[in-house]
Amino acid sequence: MMTKEDMVGKIAGDVGISKAKAARALATVLDGVTKSLKRGEKVTFVGFGTFQVAHRAARKGRNPRTGAMIQIPAARVPRFKPGSKLKSAVR
C-alpha cells in the first residue's frame, strides 16, 4: 500500500526537489481535483483516467440493526474511470 507520505517521497526523489515542495505540489493537485469535482466538472489525466461526479438516485434501504425500512437520500458521488494505459499497466 502506498500512502500520501510515500507518494511525496517518490515525487521528491524522482524530480529532485525537497519533500516540502513535493508535498505542496501533491496537495495542489489533489485540491484542484477536489474543487473541480465540487463544481461538477470532469478531471481527465490522459492515459491515467477520469474523475467525475455521478448522481445516485434516492432509494429505499434497510437498517441492518433493526430491519426497519429507511429512505436513503439522493447524493452526488465521485467516480473514477481508469484510462487505457493504467489498465494495461495493472494487467
Query: Is the pTM of the predicted complex or chain greater than 0.85?
Result: no
Residues in the chain: 91
Mean pLDDT along residues 63-80:
96
By the 8 A CB rule, do 77 and 53 touch?
yes
Burial class (CB in 10 A: 0-12, 13-18, 19+), 9: middle
- For the stretch 50-67, pLDDT in tens is 999 999 999 999 999 999
The superfamily in CATH containing domain 4-90 is IHF-like DNA-binding proteins (4.10.520.10)
Which residues have C-beta within 8 Å of that of residue 31, sequence separation ≥ 6? none
Residue with cell 465521485: 78
Q: What are the counts of helices (DSSP H) followed by strands (DSSP E) for the chain?
A: 3, 5
- For the stretch 8-18, pLDDT in tens is 999 999 999 99
